[in-house]
Structure 1
Amino acid sequence: MKYTSTIDINLPIDKTVALWENENNFKEWQDGFKSIELISGIRNSKGAKSKIIYQDKRRIELLETIISCQLPKEKIALYEHRHMTNTQTTRFKVINPNKTQYISEVEYTKFNGILIKLMAKLFPGKFKEQSQKWMNQFKEFAELTDI
């Protein structure tokens, strides 16, 4: 399953990217975000691995591996969870000096377990909905934040 989500942010590209990649801001736009811990490598460098924890109704632990990080052009990361594996490519493009397009391409490459496979088959739009929700929340946070 593969999809792309986009949103326009009313900020210059440098401010948008700075807010997006600052881990202290994740809690502001990613529901349930608790922590990110660098396990190996250099943060945001090829091969770096981090453990990301979300806690809402249940605890979710992801392993992030950076494939490439050349922001604002793109950041490609592999996310592994016991129920699924996906790659996310994030890009930022200048629309004008005060407006940036935020693009997220997500490709799920593996689903483990009958329930998650069924969800992906019957409700693929739910995955894109979640990505778009976080992008909308990022836009709202970013446009209200002055750095």
Structure 2
Amino acid sequence: MKYTTEITIDLPRTEFIKKLDNPENMRHWQRGLTEYKQISGNPGEEGAKMELHYKMGKREMVLVETIIKRNLPYEFHTTYDTKGVHNIQKNYFNDLDDHTTKWISESEFQFSGFMMKVMGFLMPGAFKKQSLKYLQDFKAFAEKGVSVSES
């Protein structure tokens, strides 16, 4: 399953990237994130792996993020792996003008196991909705300082 989401952020790209590239800020725009830890490589560099722990309702989930391309401030690509799901994220950042940045995020989900394949087939909108929510939450944090960790 592949789809693209995008959002316009009212910040110059340099400020946008500073906020996006700081792992301490993830808790402000990634709902349910309870902890993260570096597990290999140099933080933020290609090949680095980070373990991300989320709690969504009663469900807990652990993802492993791997940075596959870091060409900031233009693009940043990662993979996320958890049981039954391999997600490839390609993120592109474009100046619209001196104070506005467009974030384009291409998502590809590859499912393994019967239940995950069924979920991907029956609920593709849920995945896109979650991806867009992260972009919207980042926008609120970056532009207005609104944190999802306070809600």
**Do the structures match in fold with TM over 0.5?**
yes
Q: Could you tell me how far apart the structure 1 residues matched to 2:73 and 2:36 are?
A: 21
Match of 2:86 in 1: 85
In structure 1, runs of 5+ residues without a counterpart are none
Match of 2:114 in 1: 114
Q: Could you tell me how far apart the structure 2 residues matched to 1:119 and 1:58 are?
A: 16
How high is the sequence identity, in percent, across the aligned residues?
39
Match of 2:143 in 1: 143
- Alignment of structure 1 residues 19-34 onto 2, 5 Å: 19-34=19-34
Verify the 8 A CA contact 1:71 1:91 in the aligned structure 2: no
TM-score, structure 1 normalization = 0.93
Decide which moves more: 132-141 or 55-64.
55-64
Runs of 4+ that moved beyond 6 A: none
Deviations along 1:91-132, whole A, 9 cap, x unmatched?
1110001100011111112x1332221121122111111000
Match of 2:133 in 1: 133
Q: Could you tell me how far apart the structure 2 residues matched to 1:133 and 1:46 are?
A: 26
Q: Could you tell me how far apart the structure 1 residues matched to 2:24 and 2:136 are?
A: 18
Root mean square deviation of aligned Cα = 1.1
In structure 2, runs of 5+ residues without a counterpart are 146-151
Q: Could you tell me how far apart the structure 2 residues matched to 1:58 and 1:125 are?
A: 20
SS at match of 2:45: coil
Q: Could you tell me how far apart the structure 2 residues matched to 1:55 and 1:135 are?
A: 19
TM-score, structure 2 normalization = 0.90
Deviations along 1:8-50, whole A, 9 cap, x unmatched?
0011101111111211111111110112211111112111111
> Which residue identity is paired with 1:100?
T
Q: Could you tell me how far apart the structure 1 residues matched to 2:122 and 2:63 are?
A: 24
